Structure 1
Amino acid sequence: MTPYSFTSFDHAAENVLKMVSGLMEVNTLFIAKNDKQDVEIVKSFNRDRVIIEAGFETEYEESY
């Protein structure tokens, strides 16, 4: 059995962001879905100020 057990994608994403935010001194991390047409922020972590929130969507060509 693996040391991690997740009940859903959201649960796994939250744990990944929590773990990575503890390792890196950055303000913002996010997990996004990208289908080469649209980009959707699925989960986000903002330490000191909000840069991007979950639910934000944009066209792929407008993302960077």
Structure 2
Amino acid sequence: MRAVQFGNRNAITIRGAAIADLIPSEVSQKTDVAAGVAHMQRMMASYPPIIGIDTKALIEEGRH
């Protein structure tokens, strides 16, 4: 159950033959995503903005 809680799928078997899949609930997946986004927003707000950095140039540089 812990593995499923962390987003993994588990096969339920009888004598080695898979008969069903145990998958995470869609509700829990949406909650995890929302919590992750909220955490990222809090983290980003805690850092001061960097003045003089050309974000677009950094993105373009990473594309080469």
When normalised by structure 2's length, the TM-score is 0.30
Bigger-Rg structure (1/2): 2
Higher share in helix: 2
When normalised by structure 1's length, the TM-score is 0.30
